[in-house]
Structure 1
Amino acid sequence: MDMLTEVAPSARSERTRAATASQASAAAEGQAGGEFLTFRLGGEEYGIDILRVQEIRSYEPPTRIANAPSFIKGVVNLRGVIVPIIDLRLKLGCDNAEYNGFTVVIVLNVRGRVVGAVVDSVSDVLELNREQIKPAPELSSSIEAHYITGIGAVKNGDAERMLILVDIEALMSSADMGLMDSIAH
């Protein structure tokens, strides 16, 4: 009997590890579905992998950094960690970037680095299955479409809600961001 009680917990933890690994590998596949945090940039709705989101905070003006690109708003001190703040509206070419009561910062953990992304508002968390995700459209090479992993289509009554699914890790790791130079790709 003692041997059974010793084996059962380790078998249970092994099953838990296997289930967690299976979920992680499914989430890593771009088209496998999963949970997405949805947010608005201008008139469009976007979605990012919820596993990259650390927290959501109200927007506070960051400390500017000299000679930084316009989309890098500056840095904030988040519980002792200096976090660069990227305005995704400016980075992705939205018409305007107005700061109001709905403007929020999505704090992300990308390749072990904490980064803040300014968006117009956060909508909700949606679970999308494989059938709800359509392939990203093929666009001319002048458009940075390689950050788009797909288009999520969600039925909402008679209307269909379209989400642009973004590979936030690839976007934040891009060379023009200059944030991930010291981290191996």
Structure 2
Amino acid sequence: MAEELKVIVFSLAHEQYGVEVDKVRTIERMQPLTRVPKTPAFVKGVINLRGVVVPVIDLRGRFNLEEAEYTDNSRIIIVAVGEMEVGMIVDSANDVVDVNSDEIEQPPEIVGGIRAKYLRGLAKLGEGKILVLLNLEEVLNKSEIVQLEQFGE
């Protein structure tokens, strides 16, 4: 039997992406970031979120997409990966949709320039729309998570 997944839909470079609601802690407006030296370029810094230091990455940078100015629509989606929370900067957070697990297909090797290892699958939403579901464990791979966890200490 197919299960329903609740997915937060966000946009990045005119594409629609999704991440499971149960992995999302909060969605925040853009706020000042404290830069951290000696981190990969896509790690934009850290924020203090209600007393917790949260590392923030720019998903455009992570996926080697063209950087863009942050706007009033830009959001930081705070997700939980393992024991830690990480913020992901996206162009906008749009919606919550239900995705039937039967409608999720394996991603091709490269989708919009993003390597398949970062993707969990592609979901068809109707009206010809396709939602790219992220594999958060790969988007924040283990060695990078270890680096990021050191900020929080």
- Band the TM-score falls in, shorter-chain normalisation: 0.7 to 0.9
1:113 aligned residue: 84
Look up the SS of the partner of 1:100 in the other structure. coil
Which residue of the other structure, out of 170, 181, 184, is the alignment partner of 2:138?
Answer: 170
C-alpha distance in 2 between matches for 1:118 and 1:174? 19
Q: TM-score, normalised by structure 1?
A: 0.72
1:101 aligned residue: 72
Q: TM-score, normalised by structure 2?
A: 0.86
C-alpha distance in 2 between matches for 1:180 and 1:171? 15
Unaligned residue ranges in structure 1 (runs of 5+): 1-25
User: What's the offset of the Cα at 1:85?
Assistant: 0.6
1:57 is the counterpart of 2:25: no
Query: Partner letter of residue 164 of structure 1?
Result: V
Runs of 4+ in 1 over 4 A off after TM superposition: none
Higher relative contact order (CA 8 A, sep 6+): 2
The within-5 A match list for 1:85-96 is 85-96=56-67
> Conserved in 1, the CA contact under 8 Å of 2:62 and 2:139?
no
C-alpha distance in 2 between matches for 1:105 and 1:72? 13
1:179 is the counterpart of 2:148: yes
Unaligned residue ranges in structure 2 (runs of 5+): none
Aligned residues: 147
User: What's the offset of the Cα at 1:97?
Assistant: 2.2
Query: Partner letter of residue 123 of structure 1?
Result: N
Which is helix-richer, 1 or 2? 1
C-alpha distance in 2 between matches for 1:74 and 1:56? 17
Which is strand-richer, 1 or 2? 2
> Conserved in 1, the CA contact under 8 Å of 2:106 and 2:121?
yes
Look up the SS of the partner of 1:175 in the other structure. helix
User: What's the offset of the Cα at 1:180?
Assistant: 5.5
> Conserved in 2, the CA contact under 8 Å of 1:173 and 1:180?
no
Which residue of the other structure, out of 11, 14, 24, is the alignment partner of 1:40?
Answer: 11
C-alpha distance in 1 between matches for 2:141 and 2:149? 6
Q: Please list the CA deviations of residues 22-54 of structure 1 after superposition, one character each: whole Å capped at 9, or x if unmatched.
A: xxxx9xxxx955111110110111111111100
Q: Which has the larger radius of gyration?
A: 1
